[in-house]
Amino acid sequence: MTDTRPGRLPASGHRPGRPGPFFARDRGHHPPALWPDYKTSVARSPRQPLLSFENTLSEITGPLFSLRDLGPQDNDLLSNFATEGQPIGERMLLHGQVLDQNARPVPGVLIEIWQANAAGRYRHVNDGYRAPLDPAFGGCGRTVTDSEGRYFFRSIKPGAYPWPNATDSWRPAHVHFSIFGSGFAQRLITQAYFEGDPLIDRCPIAGSIPDPAARNMLVARLDMENSVPFDMLAWRFDIVLRGRRSTCFENRPEGN
């Protein structure tokens, strides 16, 4: 899936550094909690200073995830819901690597994804978009990173869809990611867009990220080297957990 030859840089382009303290937070890297162009952030953003609580023992000591916890099709959205037939749409391989701030791989990370189908509709009771549901596509999957921090999913490239943020607002095609650490208190949430999508620059959610370089880190790159001939294109999305180079996470607007 990835090039692991000696001397090769990770696809993120970050050179591995020596172990040391965490990099300082760059608070201009992450989106503010309140972004008026994103309408629901007006109601959801905190009005008072945030409070910090100590974690309980159960929150920091488990669970630990392994491949033994997964079903054989958990990371294959082409087959993990269908009872017959195949999902409709552009087949894709979505893969990457989970890295720390020094570009070292992070093994044993549970990754869950959810997404709309090729028509832009979620299999959710509250999704009222008039696009059809796909009877062979559930839109959810999970996997655990291997010893080199790598993961992959087989799926359908999601479609764009309208949303009631403003007149004729459309969300770019995207896949939601949930990343778990070694305890329940260690959960990060983000989403991956797709290279070349013109709707990214029109999206107020993506636009809430002040740094264009940080916004660009949420874009999965077309990866022809790992595409499957006559079957599916590959897209690469690496996730950096902390530091100045961190991927932007929706539930950590203050930084990591």
Q: What is the DSSP string of 165-212?
A: TSTTEEEPS-EEEEEE-SSTT-EEEEEEEETT-TTGGG-HHHHT-S-H
Among residues 95, 142, 154, 171, which one is catalytic?
Answer: 171
Contact between 45 and 33 under an 8 Å Cβ cutoff? The reply is yes
Whether 171 is a known active-site residue: answer yes
Per the annotation, the verdict on 14 as an active-site residue is no
Q: What single DSSP character describes residue 243?
A: S
* Residue of 161, 193, 215, 242 marked catalytic: 161
- Non-local (6+) Cβ contacts of 40 within 8 A are 165
Active site residue 176: yes
Is 193 an annotated catalytic residue?
no
Which residues are bridge partners to 93 per DSSP? 154, 234
151 among known catalytic residues: no
Tokens of 215: 């916004």
Catalytic residue of the set 176, 215, 236, 242: 176
CA-nearest of 81, 87, 72 to 143 is: 72
Q: Sign (positive/negative) of CA torsion 40, 44, 49, 54?
A: negative
Catalytic positions, please? Answer: 122, 161, 171, 174, 176
